[in-house]
Amino acid sequence: AQSVAQPEDQVNVAEGNPLTVKCTYSVSGNPYLFWYVQYPNRGLQFLLKYITGDNLVKGSYGFEAEFNKSQTSFHLKKPSALVSDSALYFCAAHFGAGSYQLTFGKGTKLSVIP
Amino acid sequence: EAGVAQSPRYKIIEKRQSVAFWCNPISGHATLYWYQQILGQGPKLLIQFQNNGVVDDSQLPKDRFSAERLKGVDSTLKIQPAKLEDSAVYLCASSPSRADIQYFGAGTRLSVL
């Protein structure tokens, strides 16, 4: 079965330090990969996506993600965390033509400590 | 550009009652989605429309859930009768086409008592 996993329920990082939020996927074929962020009482906001091309994808608010096909991973990164980055982050994927249903991970809560 | 609008924001009902949620997608977006997000989990797709036709409703509990998309624009999701396990946030999203980025509304938080 196709799935998306976020192995960490919570990530804590000090303000100004680099952050990484992990995501792995299980699929046959080439996935389309996404990161969304959710602030309290708000809907999900799109951050970035990978379809094809460069393995390093740059997105909104200084975030980037690295696609690694051999490790089936798509980790979200930021060089210097801000307190305002504290939120719930979701990795998602759909698995190609004919079925564009987005499958989400369970989410990772990021807390940036001042 | 206006985003995806949903109403109501909050709803509290008793089990076995019925409830309806409304969604107005971004203008011109052909594809509309309803997701259920249970606390501590990622969103789960319930139903996907392309214009006013259903593309995927494989995870919709059809014995109690129904949805329609009026004239390929607004959509309503109904639950009748509600169960305790239906307590969740119901998210509506839209996209220009099926492979495009999905844009989400703020959601409706449903509590079934």
Please write the tens of the pLDDT for every residue from A40-96.
Answer: 878 899 999 998 888 999 999 999 999 999 999 999 999 999 999 999 999 999 876
B43 CB neighbours in chain A (<8 A) are 44, 90, 102, 104
User: What are the tens digits of pLDDT across the range B94-105?
Assistant: 999 887 899 999
pLDDT of residue B70: 82
Q: What is the mean pLDDT of residues B42-48?
A: 94
Residue B107 CA to residue B96 CA, distance in Å, equals 20
Distance (Å) from the alpha carbon of A45 to chain B's nearest alpha carbon: 7
Query: Which pLDDT band holds residue B71 (cuts at 50, 70, 90)?
Result: confident
Contacts of residue A76, Cβ cutoff 8 Å, sequence gap at least 6: A20, A21, A22, A23, A35, A47, A63, A64, A65, A89, A91
Task: Please provide the DSSP assignment of A42-63 as one string.
Answer: S-EEEEEEESSS-SEEE-GGG-
Grouping H, G, I as helix, E, B as strand and the rest as coil, residue A85 is: helix
**CB spacing of B98 vs A44 below 8 angstroms:** no
Q: Which residues pair with B9 in a beta bridge?
A: none
pLDDT at A97 over 70: no
Percentage of chain B exceeding pLDDT 90? 85
Which among A42, A49, A107 is the nearest to B106, CB-wise? A42
User: Domain containing B34: what range?
Assistant: 5-112
CB contacts of A45 in chain B (<8 Å) are: 104
- The CATH number linked to B108 is 2.60.40.10
- Which pLDDT score, from 0 to 100, does residue B72 have? 82
Q: A residues 6-35 near B, CB within 8 Å?
A: 32, 34
End-to-end CA distance of chain A: 41
Count of domains for chain A? 1
Q: Report the C-alpha gap between A27 and A3 in whole angstroms.
A: 7
| CA A7 – CA A105 distance, rounded (Å) | 9
CATH code at A13? Answer: 2.60.40.10
User: What percentage of residues in chain B have a pLDDT greater than 70?
Assistant: 99
Across the interface, whether the CB atoms of B41 and A101 are under 8 A apart is answered no
Which residues of chain B are within 8 Å of residue A36 when distances are taken between CB atoms? 104
Residue A41 forms contact with B (CB below 8 Å): yes
Cα distances from A40 to residues A44, A53, A63, B25, in angstroms, run: 10, 33, 19, 21
Is the pLDDT at A6 greater than 60, yes or no?
yes
What's the number of domains chain B is made of?
A: 1
- Residue A44, domain extent: 3-113
Tokens of A11: 């990530």
What's the whole-number average pLDDT of chain A? 91
B98, A100: Cβ pair inside 8 Å? yes
Query: Looking at beta carbons, which residues of chain B come within 8 Å of A94?
Result: 99
**CA proximity to B54, closest of B82, B29, B75:** B75
Contacts of B85 (CB under 8 A, 6+ apart): B112
Residues of A in contact with B42 (CB under 8 A): 4, 90, 92, 104-107
What are the counts of helices (DSSP H) followed by strands (DSSP E) for chain B? 0, 11
